[in-house]
Structure formats: C-alpha cells, structure tokens
Amino acid sequence: MSFLKIQRVSKSFSANVNVLEDFSLQISKGEVFSLIGESGSGKSTLLRIIAGKENRDSGEVILGEVRVQNPKEKLVPGYDEIQLVYQDYKLFPNSTVAENIARPLLEYDKDYRETRLNQLLKLLNLESMKDKLPRELSGGQQQKVAIGRALSLEPSIVLLDEPFSSLDTIQRRELIVELKEIFRELEMTVLFVTHDLDDALQMSDHLVIIQKGKIIQQGEAEGIFMKPKSMYAAKLFSHLNPVPSNKYHYIRPSDVELYKSKGLRAKVQESQYLIHYNQLTVKLSNGDIWKVEDKRRVFKSGDRVYLKWNPEKEIELKK
C-alpha cells in the first residue's frame, strides 16, 4: 500500500517552462527511493513541493491519509512529519552538535528531549562529538548532525536533497553506507535526490530517473541497466558504442571483449588508467570511436586490437 502519493503534480516558474509536468510517483512505507536526474530536471523543486514548502500549480501530494497543503494554504508552511535535508547543512554555527540536533525539540518535555537526543547521538555515532561546534567537524560529520536534527521529530518521511554533493569521495561513500543502515534500522521512508548514479545505487536499488520534469523510467537498477527505455537512461550507466551493422543497436564498453587477433578490427587511440581497468579509446575502420575496457591492461596507444561481444548484450534504442 502506498504511503506517499504524488499525483499528477505540475509546476512552472514561467509561462513557457515547466519544471514538473504531470509528475506521479508512489512510495510504500519503509522504502528508500533514489531519484536521479541532471541539474534543472526538477528534483529539488519536487522535494520542496512534497515537504509543503513550494506551491504546486496542479496535482496532489498525499502522505498517509493527509493531503499536503501548499504554503499559500497553510499559516506555517511545512510539516514535522516531512523533513527535508539540504546539501548545505544549515546548522547553527555557535551551537554544539547536541544543541543543533535538539533544537526542534525545545518545546517538548525535557525528559523526552534528553532521551531522544541521546538516542540520536548513539544512532549516528556522534556521542563523542556532542559538545563540539560545527566548524570543528568534518563535512560528513556536519551532514550527520543535519540528518540527526531532521530525525529528532520522528518524521514519517525524510527527503534528502543532494546531501553529499560537497563531500569528498571517501566521506560520501562512508556516510551513505552508515545512513543506509540507519534508515533500514528505523524502517524509515526516504526519497533521496541526486545527480550522481553511484550515490543513487549505493543508497537504494530502486531508481527513479527524471528528465525535464518527467519520469522517463523507474524500477530496479539491474532492470534499467539491461533494458533502458531511452538514450539518457542508458548513458547514465555507461558510454554506449554504436554497433556498425545496426544503427539502433549499441554495446556497453564492459560487454566488449578484447583480442590480439580475430574480431572487429580497431586501433587504440588512447589508454587511460582507471581503478579496475584501462579505458581504451579505439577507432574502428569505419571511423567510429568506441570506449572499451582493457581489464588485463595489455594494450597501449597505437596497438591493433580486435573486438568481440555477445549480440544478446546489445541494447536497442530507437530514440
């Protein structure tokens, strides 16, 4: 049964530009969805609308049995049950970690406030840092404080708006793993917005791909990888090489096997060292430029290479 229902939501900021167009999505309680799209695709606007902090032009947002009102319909915009976490933390610089997390609880009973604070400090592994100021923390630790503050009111859903964009690779990877486990433990409903596919895949196996304010594909990551419905969805995962014998067929670099004889002949133009393989840029006899993966790291620039692949791995795209 759906817990969050977004029904045909549209939003425009000018007469000729629709940021969101007839957007619909349903999320069940306890699910974690990753919403991925390029900058300007409407992701952040959608989160503000869900949180009741941005007016929508049409459509409805329903959380449980409650209709989320537009800011113009509500004296104080927003809902305690819906917490939106931004990428820039928005922490109070002169308040400690504990004070930042507990700030939303100031009007609550002191015993409850202290109990809830201690629960969150332990959950987020911030107990040793509770008396520190934000400037004394790393970026990942600051983001954990921001998420702790969002969790303080025991929300029904957490919306994450590109929360890891300012973190380095190591901090981002470690924080995602930690938060994923926390959300699972709390059985929290989460909608995570990002432009980074790696972040999306680490956070959740269920992807929603948005482009120009519309969902172009959603489902399990493996299914989208194997059968993308558009060039944009396909290229999120990797470069695509056009198959010479069929203009609608493409093959991913990871599905191409490299040999020193027999196969589709090509010449190595460039070899780039990556973590798990050398990425080769090769030129086919017809002039096409392909990207392929040299997992054994044996080919150099200028070498002749022969390419083979299983035709069943080809992706058919007509748009």
pLDDT values of the chain reduced to their tens digit, one per residue, 319 residues: 689 999 999 999 887 788 999 999 999 999 999 999 998 899 999 999 999 999 999 999 999 999 999 999 999 999 999 999 988 888 999 999 999 999 999 989 999 999 999 999 999 999 999 999 999 999 999 999 999 999 999 999 999 999 988 888 888 999 999 999 999 999 999 999 999 999 999 999 899 999 999 999 999 999 999 999 999 999 999 999 999 988 899 999 999 999 999 999 999 999 999 999 999 999 999 999 999 999 999 999 999 999 999 999 999 998 6
**CATH, domain 2-231, list 3.40.1160.10, 3.40.50.300, 3.30.360.10, 3.40.50.1700:** 3.40.50.300
User: In which residue ranges of the chain is CATH 3.40.50.300 found?
Assistant: 2-231
148-to-85, 89, 311 alpha-carbon distances in Å: 10, 11, 49
**C-alpha span between 38 and 56 (Å, rounded):** 21
Taking residue 246's Cβ as centre, other Cβ atoms within 10 Å add up to: 11
Domain 239-316 has CATH 2.40.50.140: yes
Smallest CA-to-CA distance from 117 within 93, 139, 95, 135 is with 95
Q: In this structure, what DSSP letter does residue 124 have?
A: T
- Class of residue 110 by CB neighbours under 10 A (exposed 0-12, middle 13-18, buried 19+): exposed
**C-alpha span between 33 and 31 (Å, rounded):** 6
The letter for the amino acid at 169 is T
Give pLDDT, residue 111: 94
Give pLDDT, residue 203: 94
**C-alpha span between 239 and 17 (Å, rounded):** 30
Report the SS3 class of residue 31.
coil
Which residues, 6+ apart, have CB-to-CB distance to 39 below 8 Å? 195
Give pLDDT, residue 319: 63
Angle subtended at Cα 90 by Cα 89 and Cα 95, rounded to the nearest 5 degrees: 105
